[in-house]
Structure 1
Amino acid sequence: MALELLNRELTPEANQAPAPIPESGDVFGRIGSLETRLARNDREIDAAQSVRFRVFAEEMHAKLSPEAMARRRDFDKYDEFCDHLLVVDNAIEGEIEDQIVGTYRLLRQEVAMANGGFYSASEYDIEPLLARHPDKQFMELGRSCVLPQHRTKRTVELLWQGNWSYSVKHGMGAMFGCASFSGTNPQEHALALSFLHHTVLGKEEWAVSALPELYTNMDLMPFDDINARRAVTTLPPLIKGYLRLGAMVGNGAVIDHAFNTTDVLIVLPIASISERYVAHYGADANRFATKSGDPI
């Protein structure tokens, strides 16, 4: 019942025919004036870090390092070897710094292992999860954000088109990453956290737990006391989007005082993505792709 509610809430549009796969270029998809692609140079990565600063520090009041506050950029050591997915609005006049309206940070397992591991490992014990799936390559999603005035269905769809295209291109077997509730008091999100714990907790081969010293109980309400319809409405849009695709959550939340959030770990096996959404985005990731020379 709970996942039926999620699926009814967003039905993929049926009136937009899939466009052809790009013959060249690096654009993963386009809708109107928006396009999604990877950052091409340090300047674009810097612009993505600026978008992150505006969302995390200015809007969400994250406590970043003095250097980050001085530079007005959200950055860390992972930025050096991650790929940075962008949503660019070409209708905005100005330089690329003005046109980037959303971003995601993508980290493939082989790259993570060559550079000290995944960011999520600072909050969750992911090593057993990786060890149980030696035949799969994992991809970490992080630092997701969209500027307030661009938080529309089109922008979110393009971010997911970019994630899906990237995962197909690199042969990924599963995605994971931390998603956040605003604030550091889990009781304020008791309904949502309990709903996640009781309905989509990863088990057996997909089980993963918060680090013991950071573990915060998510089982704050008995299952019989949970109103599923109301719980769904309290979930952050990003988490709802993950669940629609078939994601699970890790055991335990983590309080991130620096970012002023309560984090949960999302685990999304590629094979679990709903057939309806594979049809929407395209099994070969061509749902919103266009030829490089086509008009926007």
Structure 2
Amino acid sequence: MSAPSSTARSAPPRQAARPVRSRRHRYLPPQHGAWAMLLLPYAAAVCVTGPRWPHLPLLGAWLAGYLFSYYALLAVKTGRTDRVRPQLLLYGVAAASLVAPVLVARPGVLGYAPLYALLAAVNVGYARGRRERALLNDLASVAQSVLMVFVVATVAGSPPAELSAVAGVVGAYLVGTVLYVKTMIRERDSVGYRWASGAYHVAALVAVVAAGWGPAVAGVFVLLLLRAALLPGRRLAPVRVGMVELVGALLVFAAVVGHWA
């Protein structure tokens, strides 16, 4: 008699745990790597230009805009807008409210809207075809993140061209991350992706050295090349892959700030 009662006592907690997990992820997408892609360009550019008060609402609008786009693309993919309507309303209102003071203070940022719209259209096309993990779709997302470097410069009143090197370093890192992570997770058995990732990282290192962006930046890209050459095939858990990339993002940030700030 004790065994069934023990089972009965243990079953309810398991059943109750499911809605707790669903509530936790209902308003936060399970894409932990996206946060580094969002924050690295913004933080590096702010540190180089120096902070201005519109940078704060810009950050909020940038994050809310990402969250809105995630659920909007999910609606496109599934055709079920009703399932994500609360998230779309919350993040849409938040993004619009936060970007408003930025536009009032720096109307020049509207000049980036066509580029973001074009890149978002790429995302929509791949979401509609349920191919959101395609390489070109990932690169479109990288381009959106790199554009934030120039948006931050415009908000700071600096010529965007002055941050072209910062955008170059950040973009080179993020493109390499896309290729490297594919060799570790979704394309880990693809020899072609391993060669492409390795060749890209060699080319990125050569470009960094040729551009004269300093020994710190070059040293970081040496480490990035080593991780792209040595880690594929080692069957690391996704969380460990993410931890390696978090360290990489922090090293890129430190090198950029140390060289240009």
TM-score by length of 1: 0.25
**Higher gyration radius (CA):** 2
More helix per residue = 2
TM-score by length of 2: 0.27
- Relative contact order, CA 8 A, sep 6+: which one is greater? 1
More strand per residue = 1
